A and B are shown apart, each in its own frame.
Chain A
Amino acid sequence: MEKLKDALDFRDFSRAEQIGLIIFSIFLFIFPWLGSGSFVKAVMIQFLLFSLFGMGWNTIGGYGGQVELGKAQYVGIGAYTVALTMVWWKIPFWVSMPMGVLLAVGYSFMIGYPLFRLKGHYFAIATICTSLVLQDIFANWKLVGAAKGIELPIHDHPDFLYMQFKSDTYYYYFIMVLFYVALFYMNWFRRSKLGYQLRMIKDDEDAAESLGIDIRWCKIKAYTIASAFVAVGGGFMAVYNLYIDPASVMDLDLSIKIALMAMLGGAGSLWGPIIGAAFLVPLDRFLGSWLGGHKGLIGLDFMIYSMLIMVVSAYQPRGIWGIIEQFRRKGS
């Protein structure tokens, strides 16, 4: 109960941030009734999904300061668990999604234990490696559809148990609920014991260790939490897209996007991943649909995207939220 109260407590933010959150929430809630097209709705769903991913990444990458570039493997585990159990045994989404999360948690423990012997660059590359290994396995494993992927059976009638709806609006509200659960959790997390411990580790590992913090165990816990978040999103991707293959749910590009959005928005702050996703997802989708249509302009959208990354990492490594805070400090 106490924890729940903490999670819903946004009082330590400034007035502007609180008002911003309220306006943002109202907007999210009434958004489907604004009569926007299906493309815009799909972009919004994507935005909420990536905010969820980004918030997960933020535990280990933002608060913990460990550059993690292998989150796609957990998206894959979540998505594949939901898809495979649905195809093989007709297990409803509400059972298979927690199963996927459990699997992701177990797997991340297994991998996290050796992984967190490493630091910095070595850690970052090792996470890419594990992700690539898993992708290679899934891309060649005939039992799980190999590179062709799996199609989920489509039901004739909307089915809540299997999360199959005719309209995107239902998916929208579902992912919105997940988004808020994640937001409240993160709001609690940043003031939890683990949250403070992680920030200490990020600042100075030796000092943290000398104060009796079990560094490796803390990192593993944060990594596991991040994996669980991402696996939930993966399960959602499976029922939303009705089709998954290793290239769409396990690709390195996905890992990069997740980490990038959180970093661009501002790693280590509650709003960072959301801002990052709000900025990059529409940019990605609109640029993609606008430029992709013109033959001969393939790749221009990603060029703009990557230039942004370079500029932000060179001038303000704390991301957009860092820039905002800088201005605020100047103003006051």
Chain B
Amino acid sequence: MTLIDALLQGILMGLLFALVALGLNIIWGVMDIVNFAHGEFLMIGMYTTYWTSLLLDIDPLLTLPVAALVGIMLGVASYYGLIRYLLRGPAIAQLFGTFGLMLFLRYLAQFLFGIDYRIIQKGILIGKSLSIGPFIFDWTKLSAGILSLLAFLFVYWFLNRTKTGKALKATSINKEAASYMGIKTDKMNAIAWAIGGGTVGIAGGLLANFYYVYPTVGLLFCMIAFACVALGGFGSIKGVFFAGLLVGILEMVFPVFGSLVNSDFLGSHFKFTVVYLTYFIIVVFRPQGLFGWKN
């Protein structure tokens, strides 16, 4: 029973992870840049939801558009303010540049809001749970899972059905060929960053409903997102979805197995260690990921 329970909880978390990883994957696919600040974008999304819901006294779920907007602006601002300049340099400069952005955003949050752990107290979903048969779901997690899925499907639709989305895909497949067809790479890059920031902003808003908000929350989710992207395949949208689910299930189911054996090394402290190890094994033995086509 606990195993099935963990599985269901894992799927809900996995949907959220998939949304977090989606933006990272699009940026990675389009520009071949790793955004280390991705987790910090999530953190900003969380703080946005926290503060808007607290200061305007509205339900956290209603703040999602604000979180998305802040995410989009953050993405676009990072692209025009920093990433464009980094593109001229070598790969090492790109890595460190986004790393600098990550540190900057993290300590900016620490400077503005302090190092306290905050959690949203008020909201129509908070503290309520839904029981279906023997299973109990927190409404916050359930809504996070469902809304993540919807957001993910929307982006998927956008990429496959709209003209801009197709242009974005074309750029990620072959930048030069796409630019010969009249697709402006610069604009596509900015759009990729906007989508990346927007989706992760929404994910942050959803996460803030049931997770503590603090300045260093980003690193963990950034690493999870890296693992999802590696697992799913770099640049593959379908892949990152299933990878997110897999990682979510893994991190929920592993502690259940761990609790059966009494050991220092199988407890729930290690649920994310398993994720890191999975990343390592996947990239070493199958660098293109489970669904990937870019090598």
How far apart are the CA atoms of A136 and B265 in the complex, in Å?
A: 10
Checking A129, A252, A303, A317 against B93 with a beta-carbon cut-off of 8 angstroms, the contacting residue is A317
- With A118-B283, A133-B273, A307-B104 known as contacts, the answer to whether A297 contacts B111 (CB < 8 A) is yes
Q: Do B107 and A141 touch (CB < 8 A)?
A: no
Q: Do B82 and A129 touch (CB < 8 A)?
A: no
How far apart are the CA atoms of A315 and B86 in the complex, in Å?
A: 8
Interface of chain A, main secondary structure: helix
Question: Quick one: closest B residue to A298, CB to CB?
Answer: B110
Q: Do B270 and A140 touch (CB < 8 A)?
A: yes
Q: B91 on the interface (CB 8 Å rule)?
A: yes
- With A125-B34, A140-B269, A314-B86 known as contacts, the answer to whether A309 contacts B107 (CB < 8 A) is no
Question: Quick one: closest B residue to A147, CB to CB?
Answer: B269
Q: B95 on the interface (CB 8 Å rule)?
A: yes
- With A115-B284, A117-B284 known as contacts, the answer to whether A136 contacts B91 (CB < 8 A) is no
Q: A263 on the interface (CB 8 Å rule)?
A: yes
Interface string of A293-332 (1 = CB under 8 A from B): 0000111101101111110011101000000000000000
Q: Do A122 and B283 touch (CB < 8 A)?
A: yes
Q: Do B276 and A303 touch (CB < 8 A)?
A: no
Size of chain B's interface in residues, with CB distance under 8 A? Answer: 49
Question: Quick one: closest B residue to A302, CB to CB?
Answer: B107
How far apart are the CA atoms of A203 and B14 in the complex, in Å?
A: 40
Q: Do A263 and B92 touch (CB < 8 A)?
A: yes
Which of B32, B95, B219 has the most CB atoms of chain A within a 10 A radius of its CB? B95
Checking B82, B115, B280 against A314 with a beta-carbon cut-off of 8 angstroms, the contacting residue is B82
Q: Do A65 and B92 touch (CB < 8 A)?
A: yes
Question: Quick one: closest B residue to A311, CB to CB?
Answer: B100
How far apart are the CA atoms of A321 and B72 in the complex, in Å?
A: 36
Q: A194 on the interface (CB 8 Å rule)?
A: no
How far apart are the CA atoms of A307 and B111 in the complex, in Å?
A: 14
How far apart are the CA atoms of A69 and B95 in the complex, in Å?
A: 10
How far apart are the CA atoms of A197 and B15 in the complex, in Å?
A: 46
Q: A21 on the interface (CB 8 Å rule)?
A: no
For A137, the chain B residues whose CB sits under 8 A away are 265, 273
- Count how many pairs of residues, one from A and one from B, have CB atoms less than 8 Å apart in the complex: 136
Q: B132 on the interface (CB 8 Å rule)?
A: no
Q: Do A117 and B89 touch (CB < 8 A)?
A: no
Interface string of A146-175 (1 = CB under 8 A from B): 000000000000000000000000000000
- With A121-B34, A299-B107, A306-B107 known as contacts, the answer to whether A129 contacts B276 (CB < 8 A) is yes
How far apart are the CA atoms of A195 and B90 in the complex, in Å?
A: 20
Interface string of A274-288 (1 = CB under 8 A from B): 000000000000000
Q: Do B100 and A306 touch (CB < 8 A)?
A: yes
Residues of chain B whose beta carbon lies under 8 Å from any beta carbon of chain A? 28, 32, 34, 82, 85-86, 89-97, 99-104, 106-111, 114-115, 215, 219, 223, 226-227, 230, 264-265, 267, 269-270, 272-273, 276-277, 279-280, 283-284, 287
A-B contacts, 19 of them at CB < 8 A, read A65-B92, A114-B284, A121-B28, A125-B230, A132-B223, A133-B277, A137-B265, A256-B99, A256-B103, A263-B96, A298-B115, A303-B104, A303-B111, A309-B99, A309-B103, A310-B101, A313-B93, A314-B85, A314-B89
A-B pairs, top 9 by smallest CB distance, nearest first, are: A309-B100, A317-B93, A299-B110, A306-B103, A299-B107, A314-B85, A310-B100, A313-B97, A302-B107
Known contacts A129-B226, A313-B89; 7 further A-B pairs (Cβ under 8 A): A61-B92, A117-B284, A137-B265, A140-B267, A302-B110, A303-B111, A314-B93
